[in-house]
Amino acid sequence: MDTNGKTIHFKDPASPKEISNLEKKLGVTFPNDFKEFLLQHNGMEMFEGVEILSIEGIIEYNEVQDFSEGYVLIGYYYGGRYVHTNQEMD
């Protein structure tokens, strides 16, 4: 997708089983709107270094990063800013 000369790349959909396995692996339950997003687009890359991670990326980043309990990294902005979900907010 191109928006005013800036590209957005949506990844192929995830399956319900992949999402369920991810939740089990991380010990979390994602908000329904995020699960719906993954069912349509298993991640996306946007202009200026913004990325919502795929299931594989979520697993990889959360294995190597140390976040506060209840927080799961689901994306990032190039330059060190993170997008995460908090279990207490759903």
Report the pLDDT value the prediction gives residue 68, as an integer from 0 to 100: 78
Q: Is residue 88 classed exposed, middle or buried when 0-12, 13-18 and 19+ CB atoms within 10 A define those classes?
A: exposed
Positions in the chain short of pLDDT 70: 1-6, 80-82, 84-90
Q: How many CB atoms lie within 10 A of CB 68?
A: 7
**CATH superfamily, with its number, for domain 2-89:** SMI1/KNR4-like (3.40.1580.10)
At residue 89, the pLDDT reads: 47
Is the entire prediction scored with pTM above 0.95?
A: no
Domain residue limits, the chain: 2-89
What is the structure's pLDDT at 77?
Answer: 85
Strands (DSSP E) contained in 1-88 are: 2-3, 6-7, 9-10, 44-46, 50-52, 71-77, 81-86
